[in-house]
Every structure is written in C-alpha cells, then in structure tokens.
Structure 1
Amino acid sequence: MRWVSRAPSPRALPQRWLGRARASDRAALRTALRGLAHGAPGTIEYRGVDGHGSSRWIAEDTQLAGRSISSLHGPHGGSGDIAGCRRTVRELQETNRRKDEFLAVLMHELRTPLQSLRAASDALADSGSAQAAVIARQVQHLSRLVDDLGESTRLTHRKAHLRLQNVGLCSLLRDAIGDLDAEAEARRQTLELIAPPAECWVLADPARLTQVFNNLLHNAAKFSAADGRVRVTVEPAEASQEVTVSVCDEGIGIAAEALGSVFELFAQDGAATARVREGLGIGLAVVRGLVELHGGRVVAHSEGPGTGSRFEVTLPLVAAPAEAAAARRILVVEDNADVAAGLQQLLEQEGHAVAVAPDGRSALQQSARWRPDTVILDLELPDLDGREVARGIRRGAARPRPRLIALSGSGELDPRAMRAAGFDHCLIKPAGLAELTAAICA
C-alpha cells in the first residue's frame, strides 16, 4: 500500500505509528523513528495491532520530508504486510539450526572411531605394508572431510577459535607433505619442499595450520596428472617480517572466470570437477577463513586451463621459542579402549612413559598416585564430566602441576571455558602425532 500523509508536521507522524505498534515493539520503533525524523529515508519493521487486537509484521519504506523525492508534499511511503516473509525466515532459521545440530552430532560420532583408526594407522606407518598405506590414505581423506565440514560451519557462524602457540612452519610443512606421501606415491607424483636452512616460526594453531596446507597439497595432487610434480616453497621476508608459502602444481589449472571465486563456499571450477569428482567444494573456503584468522592472506594464481596453479599463503613471522624437553610422563584418560590403546602405543613409540585411565574417578586416583606431568583427557567420560576431572586433578596435584590437554569429539570448544576448567590446550579428534607432540611440548 502506497500512502501520503497530510499531517501539518512530519514529526506528528511518529506518534501515529507508535499508537499502532505492539507495546513490546514501541521502544525499538521509537529508536528507528528518531533517525527518520530528520528526513532521511529508511525502512522500519514492527508488529502493527488492528482494532481486534491481532498483530502482524509490517514493513514501512518511508520518507518523512519528501519534497526532494517527488511531487508529494508531505510524509509518504509504502506499507507492506511481511508476516509471510517473517514466517518463512523463521522456518529457514529453524531448518538451519537443525542442520547445524545434525552436523555437530554426526561429526562427534565420526571423530571417536577416526581417532582409533588414526592412532593405529600412525603406529603401522613404519611397517611398509600396502594395506597400512591404504588405511592411512583413507583415514586422512575421511579426517579431512570431517574437519572441513566442521570448520566451515564454525567459520560461517564466527565460532572458530585458535589455540595459538609458536609453530615451526618448515617442520609443519614436512609433516604435511609426509602425510600425503602415500597418496602421492600411489599416483606416482613427486612432492618437493624448498625451504631455507633456518626454521621459520609463526604464531599459529598447529592443527588449523596443518589443515590449511593439507587442503592445498591435497588439491594440488588431486588436480595433477600421474607423474606430476607439486612444489612447496617457503620464502621468508625479513623486511616485512612475513613468510610466504607457495604451493605450485603442473595440473589442469583454473579458468579465468573461476579464479575470483575459488575461495567461496561450495565453489568448484566446472571444468575441473568434470574431470575429478571428489570433495565437497569447501576446502578452499576453509583455507581462506583459517589463514585470515591467523592474520595472514591467501591468493590463487593460474594462467588458465592446462597451465597449473599456484596458491600463496602469507603469515607473520615471530621469534624462535626456547627448546622444550622431549620425554614426558603422560596419563591418557579415555573410555574408548581402542582410542586409549592407540594413543598409548603411539606415545610410547615417541619415548614417553604412558599410563591409561578408563574413566574420571580412576583418572583422579591414577593422577594422585603416579603424578604425571601431562594428562590427555577425554571430555566425554562415562562417570564424570572431563572438566570436573580436570579441576580435580589441578586441586590434588603437587607443584609443578601437570599440563592438561583436552581431547574432544566435539568440533566446537570455548577456549575461555577450557582455560577456566584448567586446560592448557585443546585437541579435536582425530588428533595425529604432530598435533599431540605440539600440544605436549608447547
């Protein structure tokens, strides 16, 4: 409905609106009207009440002093009934909420078996078995999909939190390339790292930064032909106190029209996906979101189809940290027997002394008796909440208190709540050896 008011003063109009609005909406409506009272056009949404006491959502597109807009001499605008739109928005929001809840439950249920498989796969890595290599590749692929799905949801809702520490970038890249060695060997591809002799240190969340480069390396290998080469170059710039990592491939390249959108969620180059049907189209969106959370930037380059592509990640440099001691007395608190056994075997292979507790109460007893200097603690225990166990260990421990590392199948943890419970670090299942080592030695 279009309308024009013959009120002697535009300032009389707000009072008429306030009288028509639902009482609970009048404060917000009054605030919005103050901005319009000076003649600025705008849109106001409120619930209007009719003579029978029923209310409906109304949107007003309004110009209070309209002489410069048209020949209508006085306040004028358009009123629309948006009850249907509001109902649709609520339905979409509810659908989105249910989708997020489903994804959260799904990822939680997937992470615990993946943790068992990841630990077993890491323990079998030196066996040289072809079957072990297949398991390693598929566990990495499943872990990457679960991580990307959870990360994209957190980034979309601005719930992603970083656990920052000093990270050796060259070492992290070597581990990331090592994780992809089996996959590259199966494709007869060559992975090459060109890095300076001195380590480049960055302030980062090692798990999230590993995810960034795993995604870039996986894409480079996936879109390259057999016998292709993927080259990773690390170039520190002392003048700007930054380091740039370039991931270059000789693969199918990126079309010019797709280059500007490769970092968008679910964006996929049609020519590329016609040849390689794998992935969800969220990996590069996650890369950009995580790099920006670290205060860095990422750009993509390609001369077009058939020319390969280059992705450059630039991060701020920090000073090198002091070295940490290697061996630890570690208590693993985990109710899943396969996960606990896998973690124990993996950590003992690294030279640590490891004890296992299957529930919260036995963890408190074991901690008081064995006095570990590190505790890896599952948050979802059968008898006690992991946060309660952490507080109990802190209270009963002699100084120096043990380092507490949370291990959770939930992809969403509040760092402040974790610190309040006494945790020094948080890991999301499935955690690999590199992530465990970084958390233990940080």
Structure 2
Amino acid sequence: MHPVSAHTPAPRRCDSCRKAPRGKLHCHNWLDDIPGGYADFDIVEVQFKNTRKGYYRNTTGLDIAKGDLVAVEASPGHDIGEITLTGRLVALQMKKAGLKRDAEIKRIFRKAKPSDIEKYEEAKARENDTMIKARKIAEDLNLNMKIGDVEYQGDGNKAIFYYIADERVDFRKLIKVLAETFRVRIEMKQIGARQEAGRIGGIGPCGRPLCCSTWMTNFVSVATSAARFQDISLNPQKLAGQCAKLKCCLNFEVDAYVESVRQMPSKDIRLETADNTYFHFKTDIFKREITYSTDRQMAANLVTIPAKRAFEVIALNKAGEKPLSLIPEGSEKPQPKKDFIDLVGQDSLTRFDKTKKKKKKKPQQPKDGNQQPRPKDGQQRPPKANDRKGGNSQPKDKGQQPKPQQPQDATQKPSRGDKGNDRRQQPNKQRQQPRQPKQPKQQPQQKPE
C-alpha cells in the first residue's frame, strides 16, 4: 500500500452527517454515487421528532436532497419533517418496514417556507407545558397511566400523546378533557417501558449510551434463563436496566454460552473414584475446566480437572471401573498461583500521603572554619580548645595567664546555683517548728478618773 500523501483529499461526507450526530435512525445511502439510475426514485424517507419515520411520494418532482425540511401531507393539515434518505435504497427500507410500493402513500406538498418553520417552532415550544398539564389531568381522573411525551404536528392542529400503562386504560373521558383544554386534535399512542427508556436515553452500567437509544429498533423479550446459562447471580437490582426490565444485553451472548455448555459434562453426573465420590461444584466455560467437591452442599476437597478428563472418568464409571483419583497419574500438578508483587508501588493506597521524615541535626561548625574530622570507631575525641571538660583550657588572649583555681572553703559563700542545691538538700527549719497558737491581744487597762 502506498503511503497517503498530505495532498490526498479527505473522504466526502454529506452535510447532514456533519451537522447531526448519527443515531439509530441514521442510514447511509451507499447507492448515491453509483451510476445507472440507482439514485432516481420517487419515494423519499422523512423523519420527524423522536423515533417516527414516514415514506412520502414526490409527485411534483421537487428538487430535494438529504437534510431538507419539507411540508408533507397529514390528517388534518400538514406536518414538517426532514428528508433522511433518497434513491433506490428507500425501496429496501420500505421492504424492511413491511410496506409495499403499491400501498397508499401520502405525498410531499412543498419545501418548508419560513412561515411553516416559524409555526413548527412555536408548536414545539408548547410540548413540555402540555405534557405537565396532561399528567395532572390524568391524575385527577384516577387513571393508572403515565404520559411520557407529547409531539405536536408541524401546523399545530394535532398533538400525539405517548403513554405507558400496565393494564388497559379507558381514556375516552381523558381525550375529551384534553381536547377542551388545548383546542387541538388528540391522538393517543401506547409505548412500552423499553421504548420510553430509548426515547429518554442515558448511560448504562457499562459506561456506554443505552443500546435502545443508539442502535436497537426492535425489542426481544428477555428471560431469567439467559442469566442462568451465563452463571450470573439472579440479583434483580443488577439484572434490571433503567426501564426496570431485564437488560437487553443478556441476550447478546447467551447463544454462545448455550452452545459451549452442550460440550461440557452434565452437572448432575457424579464421579466415582476408589477413595471418594465427587459432585459438581462450578464450571469455567472459557477455560473448559470443572471443579468437583466431595460434599454436595459445601466446598470440601475441591479438585479442578479439564473437561476431557471428566469425560474419561465418566466412561470408566459406566464400564464399572473406578480410577484411583480424578487427577491422572503422571500429570503435572497444578502450580500454586504466585502472589501479586507490587514492585512499583502503584497499588498502594497511601502512596500519595506525605511521610514525615526526621531531619538529622547537622554538627555545628566553628566560626573560624577549622573543623576537625570525626573520630573513627574505637578512637577518643580530641579535646577542643575551649572544651570545659578537658583540663588544659587555654585563654583567648595569649598574654594573659589563666587564674589558678582556688579550693572552696567551708566559709566561702556558695554561688547562686549552689544555693538552690543547698536549699533542696537542707530541710526547712521554719517548717519543722510547730506553729504556736496566737495569743489574744491584751486590752489596755483604763485608769480610774
């Protein structure tokens, strides 16, 4: 293959593909640029709000293309929609939808005018308020139903109410009240819970947009047997989707599981050996391994063997023979699983926490910069010049001689520090003497007058 040069043009895309995101209603016209008249067809596909599509005939021969807004025939009045597909591919889409070409097909009136688009935008702005009021009316009438969405026709003369109900609902009185309140023609359409989730949209537990809102157009019933075949726990909270029904993705791989289970021995078969009887405990379909236990109710003496060995033991038991053990002689014993070793430390929960490290105190260097080397092990530290512990202390000035130390006499006054020590050692004399009671004061004698 030749490398793509910088001047290679990019693949051509239509304007509608660049403007709108591709959803489940998108269909690429792969017959558009094929010569031979495949692009000529008088029926076009028109898409309306939400998931509604229709097929209309271009009787007047209008020059329309994909992405144009057109006014089409409706009952009553007209509706506004966008052309999504033209050409011979429309015939294949009609066949897929179950429509015949000879059936009665409505026609296209004209391309949408600015006045038509203005009416369409005004009608579209009233949909949310209409839905809220309709829900209150249905609640006042005690109807067991939920109005999920409202869609106005392009000219504003008709409104379609989409509702959800588990049981049959008699909404004849509701239609009269809605017609008197909104002054439009009312049409009721029932949808399921899965279709409502597809209209609303959302993110699934897998992290991707919901399948019903992106590419699924028809819904197949899902049973709990699909979860049993795949050995999924029957937890309703995990098996249910946002529509409160079983997830549609349970049906995606169930056929592969059913086919692989058929190639494994049955769970009801027990294996007989010379020393014990083994019952089925669990099956690993991907590794094609089966684990057996000596107890039917709990895990005891678990032994894991491949499916091929299980079939061999079953054949021996049918012939009336019992092997010594499930694991064949001479086979390599399964090596124990090595524990996970985190060399980098990325799985530690405290790897971002700051560890407090004690700072080591640096030795103080003398001001003159003459730093002595540290003594090695077993050597004594040489005395410093101003070391008080050493006996040979030299004065700072060379001319002055050190004063001789005089022995302290008993009559010598102790220093301030010695006083404190003497006070602590000598008992307090005043505290040792008992306190004498106070004598009352003698009043002066009065002199006789």
TM-score range, shorter chain: under 0.3
Between Structure 1 and Structure 2, whose CA radius of gyration is higher? 2
Q: Which protein is richer in strand relative to its size?
A: 1
**Relative contact order (C-alpha < 8 Å, sep 6+): which is higher?**
1
